[in-house]
Structure 1
C-alpha cells in the first residue's frame, strides 16, 4: 500500500506536470529569468527541460520550490 503524504504538495505530481504548470503561469521568458538554466532560455521545450532537470538535482529543487510558491498565489 503506498504511503500517504497529505502535507507534501509534490506528492503524486509528475515533473512534466510541474513544468507545464510553471510555463503556463510564468511563460518561458519569465521562467528563464527566475531560474537561470539554458534549457529555459535558449530554444526552450518541455522535452529538453525535463531531460536536464532529471539529471540535475539542484535545478530540479529550484523548479519544485517555484512550483510550490506558485500554488500559494
Structure 2
C-alpha cells in the first residue's frame, strides 16, 4: 500500500501523527515561531489544532511542509 503513491512523502501518515510529532520536537512555542497561526499560539492543544488544520488547507499545507522538512532525513517512511 505504501507504493501506491510513491511521489507523496506523506502518504499513510495521519494529520494527528504529524501534529503530535512536530509538537514533541518543537513544542507549541517553537511551532508558533515557525508557523504563524493562532492554534499554536493561544491555548494550544492537539485537538484544537487538528480541528483548525482540517478546515484550513493553507495552514495544513504549511504544517505538512514543516513536517517533511524536519523529519524527511530521519524517518524511513518519509521520502524527500
| TM-score, scaled to structure 1 | 0.90
Q: What's the counterpart of residue 58 of structure 1?
A: 58
Distance (Å, rounded) in 2 between the aligned partners of 1:30 and 1:2 = 31
SS in 1 for 2:9: coil
How big is the shift at 1:8? Answer: 1.9
Name stretches of at least 5 consecutive residues in structure 2 with no aligned partner: 74-80
Q: What's the counterpart of residue 23 of structure 1?
A: 23
Q: Does 1:14 align with 2:17?
A: no
- Computed over aligned residues only, the root mean square deviation of the Cα atoms, in angstroms, reads 1.9
Name stretches of at least 5 consecutive residues in structure 1 with no aligned partner: none
Q: What's the counterpart of residue 68 of structure 1?
A: 68
| TM-score, scaled to structure 2 | 0.83
Q: What's the counterpart of residue 78 of structure 2?
A: none
How big is the shift at 1:5? Answer: 1.6
Moved over 6 A (4+): none
Distance (Å, rounded) in 2 between the aligned partners of 1:9 and 1:60 = 15
How big is the shift at 1:9? Answer: 1.6
Distance (Å, rounded) in 1 between the aligned partners of 2:13 and 2:57 = 17
Distance (Å, rounded) in 2 between the aligned partners of 1:8 and 1:2 = 10
